[in-house]
Amino acid sequence: MEKKTVFSGIQASGSLHLGNYLGAIRNWAAMQYQYNNYFCVVDLHTITVPQDPATLRAKIKEVAGLLFAAGIAAENSVVFIQSDVKAHSELAWLLNCITPMGWLHRMTQFKEKSEKQKEEVSVGLFDYPVLQAADILLYDTHMVPVGEDQKQHVELCRDIAQRFNYRYGDVFVLPEAHIPPVGGRVMGLSNPEKKMSKSEEKKEDSIFLLDPPDQIRKKIKKATTDSLRDISFDEKRPGVYNLLTIYQLLTDKSREDIENHFAGKSYKDLKEQVAEVVIESLKPLQERYHELTGEKGYLDDMLERGAIKAGEQAEEKMRQVTESMGLK
Ligand code: ATP
Ligand code: LTN
């Protein structure tokens, strides 16, 4: 049987954090053997809000390096940078011309992100989900593994693909979002009512994948909890619930075992143990990252190979798209 195709993207808008790892990257690495995979550093999405050029350049490389460090392997997966494959911008334009504005007005992420920027908000930020649809549709993607926040964007992509197919014939595969049952929304440490996010200004809110052990201990020690005592999976107590969920995801223990383990213990114990589990889980990834970024030219070579492979598939799809629309 032919393997199905997986596509997912990640922004270079800051340092990767535990939410990106547990909600996305770790699952990409685990499922890569069953599928054909494309993983893309979406730098064109990143510039929909202002970025400093030198920082952006460095972050693009860092994100790509962390994907490989997390175990995504070139034998199974094509890893590349979005702006290296021009077809992404080109298809986004063509899809713009069939996407109703009303569909984009409904996107909750745009509403949230644009609130911060008020009248400075760019056309690109509004159009962001159409570029995302282009990313996905270029590769005949069946599955899009993402965190919960991206569900609406993948559904929009499906609607755009359906509309296109209805007008121009069966060109696009209809993709589906794949969201992990636990870990799809890791919350911030200081504000557990909001998801952990790269672009969050308060840096102690997130555990970054390259944080040294002491920093991880410090951040978790300061995490918001509550004034109660018992340690149980109670969604109404988001701080403790979030710490327990992180512990669950990294130890693979059942909720019942975890509650028994922490029975009679204090929040201090909980925080110390969560910190140690996080430190141990990130250790191999950090070591691998330093190893591969220490090897001169390694990352650039991998990304160049990725761009060539992705580009071939994308060009073939663009031929079908432009022909079906009457542009060729
Ligand atoms: P930004 O803050 O710039 O929007 P981000 O941290 O939300 O960035 P993205 O690059 O947008 O990160 O997301 C990469 C992947 O990580 C996506 O699949 C997204 O759904 C997932 N993800 C992001 N934040 C979390 C989180 N807190 N919990 C689980 N998954 C997450
Ligand atoms: N919008 C996504 C990043 C992203 C993406 C994609 C995810 C861009 N293109 C294609 C899946 C498929 C985000 O902010 N996490």
Examine the pLDDT at 151 and tell me if it is beyond 80: yes
Among residues 59, 195, 271, 317, which one is catalytic? 195
Mind listing the pLDDT tens digit for each residue in 27-76?
999 999 999 999 999 999 999 999 999 999 999 999 999 999 999 998 99
- Residue 144 burial class via C-beta count within 10 angstroms: exposed 0-12, middle 13-18, buried 19 and up: buried
DSSP-assigned beta bridge partners for residue 17:
208
| Encoded tokens for 157 | 């992509």
Name the residue at shortest CA distance from atom 15 of ligand 2: 10
**What's the rounded mean pLDDT across residues 269-273?**
98
Q: Verify whether ligand 1 is closer than 6 Å to residue 153 (CB atom).
A: no
Per-residue pLDDT band for 118 (boundaries 50, 70, 90) equals confident
Say what the pLDDT of residue 150 is. 96
What's the full length of the chain, in residues? 328
In ligand 2, the atom with minimum distance to the C-alpha of 132 is 9
Q: Which residues pair with 208 in a beta bridge?
A: 17
Q: How far is the CA of 136 from the centre of ligand 2 (A)?
A: 9
Ligand 2 centroid to residue 10 C-alpha, Å? 6
Give the residue among 192, 243, 187, 186 at the shortest CA–CA distance from 220.
243
Using a 10 angstrom Cβ sphere, with 0-12 exposed, 13-18 middle and 19 or more buried, the burial of residue 236 is exposed
Record the pTM. 0.96
Backbone angles phi, psi at 304, to 5 degrees: -65, -45
Q: Note the pLDDT of residue 120.
A: 85
Structural domains of the chain, ranges and CATH numbers in brackets: 5-179+296-325 (3.40.50.620), 200-291 (1.10.240.10)
pLDDT of residue 143: 98
Ligand nearest 46 Cα, by number? 1
Whether the CB of 27 sits within 6 Å of ligand 1: no
Q: Known catalytic residue: 328?
A: no
Instruction: Give the residue-averaged pLDDT of 274-302.
Output: 97
8 CA distance to ligand 2 middle (Å): 6
Closest-lying ligand 2 atom to the alpha carbon of residue 11: 3
Query: Catalytic: which of 198, 219, 271, 317?
Result: 198
The residue from 4, 61, 111, 113 that is catalytic is: 113
Q: Is the CB of 11 under 6 A from ligand 1?
A: yes
Look up 113 and say whether it is catalytic.
Answer: yes
If one residue of 20, 28, 40 were mutated to test the ligand 2 pocket, choosing by the most ligand atoms within 8 A of its CB, it would be 40
48 CB within 6 A, ligand 1: no
Over residues 212-233, the mean pLDDT reads 96
Q: What is the pLDDT of residue 203?
A: 81
Buried-exposed string 88-118: b where 16+ CB fall within 10 A, e elsewhere: bebbbebbbeebeeeebeebeebeebbeeee
For 155-200, what is each residue's pLDDT tens digit? 999 999 999 999 999 999 999 999 999 999 999 999 999 999 987 7
pLDDT of residue 86: 98
Q: Residue 129: CB within 6 Å of ligand 1?
A: no
